[in-house]
Structure 1
Amino acid sequence: MDLILLAQKIGTILLALLLLHYLWRLIANNNSPFTKGVQAPQPNGVWPIIGHLPLLGGPTPIFRALAALADKHGPIFRIQLGMHHAIIVSSKDAIKDCFTTNDIVFMTRPKSATMKYMGYDGAFFALGPSGPYWHKMRKITTNELLSNSRLESLEHVRDSEVDSCIGELHSRCKGSRTIVDMSKWFKRVTINLMLRMIAGKRYSLTGDGDDNKESKRFRRALKEFVYLAAVFEVSDVIPRLEWLDLQGRLRAMKRTAKEMDYFMNMWLEEHIQRRPNGQLKGEETDFMDVMLSLFPEEELLEGHKRERNHYQGHSPGSDTSRIAMTWALSLLLNHTEALQRAQEELDTHVGRERWVDESDIKHLPYLQCIVKETLRLYPPGPLSVPREAMKDCLVADYHVPRGTTLIVNLWKLHRDPNVWDDPNEFRPERFLTRRARFDVRGQQFEYLPYSAGRRMCPGVASSLQMVQLTLGRLLQGFSFATPMNSKVDMTEGLGLALHKANPLEVILTPRLQSKLYQQ
């Protein structure tokens, strides 16, 4: 009897689910905002509630999965991500439409758990919604924190930090053929550069020194922060599941936000204490010094977390630079002729009696081309940070309703055979000829490693300086080999950032005089 009742209940539930599915499809087909105009194509297989998420949840990186859908449905198509509509764009002309004609329409960001729990409801300049606060912080970022004059004043910071890390790397390469995980080394360089620019701090990332305990705590918090900022959170697309916290990530975000807040508060207190009468000593200023000059101390200390943690939003930028340098060295190790050409260029224009510095970069076109080609093949953010339409618009003659999420597949754009010759090949010299005028600042719509428009990455210049200087000194200072002289595995990791799946292990041999590494 119990089995009969159970079977009846299961049957009733299944019937109800089928009815709901039918009603949902009926409503979607008749009341969808996309029916107001010509619709972009949409893949089959949309599910109730979860939409097209099953198409994106396999072992294939999401940017490749979306690229495969573009091959089938065209360079602009729509999908349903949970309860939200989205358009995926990957052609030059459609992207230009989005970032010029419709740039103001797509100025805001969709709501996300990252923004809510780790970004203090919009304090992160990169993730915050459009509005008065965002415009205020954009002005501060572009005119104060990341202005050309500010970055020039921090040149000695970049120089000394790269010097220090190169020296430590040299000390590990003496004698035996020591294998070095360059992924970790790049992480060390970029994190310490970020810390010195933000707070004038430098932590030991090898576990040595008096700051060992604090260093470990910060490294752990930053690692979690960067991971959570780039991971898919199901409640972003199905908001009603937020209270369940199915993946446990919302709790992790709250915990990580508290940890990062602890360090920001501590550093801020240190900065206040070293300012006699509210003034700076000397010319050594960092981002926190700038913020203290713009906001009253009591505002930064008494609950104004948004202003206090604005510079915290620059943390993922260190990961962007690390990703770019890891892929660049990986590509060079698999293309030794390009590696040799880069080192010959450095020897010719800089020599072996001193280190390359930032003023030399303009005389090193091939090094610049290596960086550009790396960012073409492996943009650190292969999908642009999502934007949201604030009103109805047209993109490539397709109707896009208000509230639609825009995602640009930069990885697909950069490998478009209609734009690039041999798009999957590593050919730095392509940027020496007809594409010599291309740069990374979003002016050419077939090449957008840092996106484009008003919401493009604000730290482009800072990241480029960091990558070019670090890579230049590394190539100048060392010869490279892989264990067993094998090819570097170029497998891509999963997630929203284009990480290398496996560590980059390298054997290094110094190629300059020992005294240069000991400065």
Structure 2
Amino acid sequence: MADVQQGSLAVVEKSLVALFVVVVGAVLVNKFRGKKLKLPPGPLAVPIFGNWLQVGDDLNHRNLGDLAKKFGKIFLLKMGRRNLVVVSSPDLAKEMLTTKGVEFGSRTRNVVFDIFTGKGQDMVFTVYGEHWRKMRRIMTVPFFTNKVVQQYRFALEDEIGRVVEDVKSRPEASTTGIVIRRRLQLMMYNIMYRIMFDRRFESEKDPLFLQLKALNDERSRLAQSFDYNYGDFIPILRPFLRGYLNICKEIKEARLNFFKEYFVEERKKLASVKTVELKCGMDYILDAQIKGEISEDNVLYIVENINAAAIETTLWSIEWGIAELVNHPHIQNKLREELDIVLGRGVQITEPDIIRLPYLQAVVKETLRLRMATPLLVPHMNLYDAKLGGYDIPAESKILVNSWYLANNPAEWDNPQQFRPERFLEEEKKTEANGNDFRYLPFGVGRRSCPGVILALPILGLSLGRLVQNFELLPPPGHTRLDTTEKAGQFSLKILNHSLIVAKPRVF
């Protein structure tokens, strides 16, 4: 027994000595490296944990904005083994995203996104290089061009028109209210699945739609949570994430198998018996696979990207826009007045009309400014040591552009906390959502910007326009406004509570 006790004590003693050596070594390396490199400012980091114990897991846009006020327009957080650099000024955003776009053009992933993207077999999270260029080219032609918008504009208008008719058919919509988001979610799935597979779902109760939505919702919950950051930052804590990561793997496999069985394989069968021209996005993707440009896994990860990025982000923005219009009835009335005067009372807005409606465009821009769906954009990474703003950025640093802070910084914007579309007709009339002003980057800019801007803007304009044309949008009985509490995720900003909205049909 004594020998066993002595053996146990020896193990504990060795473990403590090893931990001491690691800590002392980390301190020495930190000091040596600090002298060698000119790193961005930031809070004092401790060995092993870095700044994690100080700032925690919740690295949302507002918390990072507060740190920018303290440490400046570029700062460094040591999050365990990860270097996290946060950029919070237009000039540094320009340097990083365009001037040095190649150096900082890669993507960093985390333990969860490694699972959901097959370690970068997709387009959004792959490193900058030949694979990304190939995937971007293959995805752009069938999904993200003006030609696609024009080809599918009638589908967009049809799906939005169906929303209007469905809401009108529900008696409770004009009295107690409905959660209109649910119907808009079906609309967004139908728009993107018509473009991608020439398929649509008949109703919110469609079994296939319910199964697809459940899988995507669970993927979003797991990927956007901050709860797993500790295991990503500090590898020795990763065993505590084993259960979480196993669930992620199960959901990833279930989703990819679902996409393949019910959509990709069905499209292959149709293509094999038809000799007509390519009709939908998946035909182009499958053609690239046949030519050997991409693998079957790449095909499935393209579908994953569209489901994860194109559908939900646009839906969040529509929901934010509706909430702001309900909470600012004078803005809603002003928008309705523009639609009635320019188009004619009761004349339904179409995609070509948007350019004639400057106040509608301003409402969309202001929604994207104040309630940015991806407030930190998608993280960038430098594969090699680089310079940014005169500072040394170690290789494979995770770099976030706090795009929300850029667009809500009082030093750059007049009363940024106020929802005021007029700013985009007055002092900001030259500012566009395409990245022509580095204070306003809702879709990013440069090589890794979001190509979905070409579809998102008309969908937003048509959705908000049609709803305001056809309904007076109000908070539910007993409330004066909607709850706009935010729920931030790894790369997302959505509304926490999906409120009831009263939609009173207008009489034309």
Contact 2:259 2:303 in 1 (8 A): no
Counterpart AA for 1:49: I
1:313 CA drift (Å):
0.7
Check 1:184–1:99 CA distance in 2 against 1; reply closer, same or farther (3 A cut).
Answer: same
The farther-off stretch of 246-255 and 420-429 is 246-255
The farther-off stretch of 5-14 and 487-496 is 5-14
1:238 CA drift (Å):
3.4
Counterpart AA for 1:188: L
| Number of the residue aligned with 1:38 | 38
Give the secondary structure class of the aligned counterpart of 1:246: helix
Counterpart AA for 1:309: Y
1:356 to 338, 345, 349: 349
Task: Give me the whole-angstrom Cα distance separating, in 2, the residues matched to 1:228 and 1:280.
Answer: 41
Paired residue total = 499
**Alignment of 1:455 onto 2:455:** no
Task: Give me the whole-angstrom Cα distance separating, in 1, the residues matched to 2:397 and 2:472.
Answer: 50
- Percent identity over the alignment is 29
Task: Give me the whole-angstrom Cα distance separating, in 1, the residues matched to 2:488 and 2:141.
Answer: 36
1:182 to 175, 180, 183: 180
| Number of the residue aligned with 2:194 | 196
2:301 to 305, 309, 326: 309
Contact 2:335 2:359 in 1 (8 A): yes
Per-residue CA deviations over 1:298-348 (Å, capped at 9, x if unaligned) read: 998xx7211343132111221111111111111122221111100111111
**Alignment of 1:286 onto 2:262:** no
2:493 to 494, 498, 505: 498
**Alignment of 1:273 onto 2:269:** yes
1:361 CA drift (Å):
0.5
**Alignment of 1:100 onto 2:98:** yes
1:245 CA drift (Å):
5.7
Give the secondary structure class of the aligned counterpart of 2:494: coil
Task: Give me the whole-angstrom Cα distance separating, in 1, the residues matched to 2:35 and 2:155.
Answer: 55
| Number of the residue aligned with 2:108 | 110
Give the secondary structure class of the aligned counterpart of 2:169: helix
Q: Counterparts in 2 of 1:203-222, with a 5 A limit?
A: 203-204=201-202, 206-207=204-205, 211-212=206-207, 214-222=208-216
2:481 to 476, 479, 487: 487
Give the secondary structure class of the aligned counterpart of 2:501: strand
1:331 to 314, 318, 324: 324
Counterpart AA for 2:390: D
| Number of the residue aligned with 1:148 | 146
The farther-off stretch of 291-300 and 350-359 is 291-300
Check 1:10–1:114 CA distance in 2 against 1; reply closer, same or farther (3 A cut).
Answer: closer
Task: Give me the whole-angstrom Cα distance separating, in 2, the residues matched to 1:173 and 1:388.
Answer: 51
Give the secondary structure class of the aligned counterpart of 1:407: strand
1:392 CA drift (Å):
2.6
**Alignment of 1:50 onto 2:52:** no
Contact 1:205 1:219 in 2 (8 A): no
The farther-off stretch of 440-449 and 17-26 is 17-26
Contact 1:61 1:492 in 2 (8 A): no
Unaligned runs of 5+ in 1: 514-519
Give the secondary structure class of the aligned counterpart of 1:424: coil
- CA RMSD in angstroms, aligned pairs only: 2.8
Contact 1:128 1:134 in 2 (8 A): yes
Contact 1:414 1:447 in 2 (8 A): yes
Task: Give me the whole-angstrom Cα distance separating, in 1, the residues matched to 2:31 and 2:183.
Answer: 53
Give the secondary structure class of the aligned counterpart of 1:71: helix
| Number of the residue aligned with 1:79 | 77
Counterpart AA for 2:252: A
Misfit runs of 4+, over 4 Å: 4-19, 239-242, 297-300
Q: TM-score, normalised by structure 1?
A: 0.88
Give the secondary structure class of the aligned counterpart of 1:382: coil
Contact 1:85 1:405 in 2 (8 A): yes
Contact 2:98 2:447 in 1 (8 A): no
Check 1:299–1:69 CA distance in 2 against 1; reply closer, same or farther (3 A cut).
Answer: closer
| Number of the residue aligned with 1:465 | 458
Counterpart AA for 2:225: V
Task: Give me the whole-angstrom Cα distance separating, in 2, the residues matched to 1:17 and 1:295.
Answer: 51
Give the secondary structure class of the aligned counterpart of 1:280: coil
Contact 1:161 1:192 in 2 (8 A): yes
Counterpart AA for 2:28: L
Per-residue CA deviations over 1:435-483 (Å, capped at 9, x if unaligned) read: 2121111221010011111001111111111111111101111002212
Give the secondary structure class of the aligned counterpart of 1:311: helix
Contact 1:115 1:124 in 2 (8 A): no
The farther-off stretch of 261-270 and 230-239 is 230-239
Contact 1:56 1:62 in 2 (8 A): no
1:239 CA drift (Å):
4.5
1:22 CA drift (Å):
3.5
Contact 2:49 2:234 in 1 (8 A): yes
| Number of the residue aligned with 2:225 | 231
Task: Give me the whole-angstrom Cα distance separating, in 2, the residues matched to 1:91 and 1:510.
Answer: 44
Per-residue CA deviations over 1:161-185 (Å, capped at 9, x if unaligned) read: 1111221111114686132113323
Give the secondary structure class of the aligned counterpart of 1:229: helix
Give the secondary structure class of the aligned counterpart of 2:140: helix
Task: Give me the whole-angstrom Cα distance separating, in 2, the residues matched to 1:96 and 1:410.
Answer: 12
1:61 CA drift (Å):
6.4
Task: Give me the whole-angstrom Cα distance separating, in 2, the residues matched to 1:489 and 1:174.
Answer: 20
Contact 1:67 1:409 in 2 (8 A): yes
Give the secondary structure class of the aligned counterpart of 1:195: helix
Per-residue CA deviations over 1:398-430 (Å, capped at 9, x if unaligned) read: 122222221111111111122111121111111
Check 1:155–1:240 CA distance in 2 against 1; reply closer, same or farther (3 A cut).
Answer: farther
Task: Give me the whole-angstrom Cα distance separating, in 2, the residues matched to 1:392 and 1:11.
Answer: 39
1:14 CA drift (Å):
6.5
**Alignment of 1:246 onto 2:241:** yes
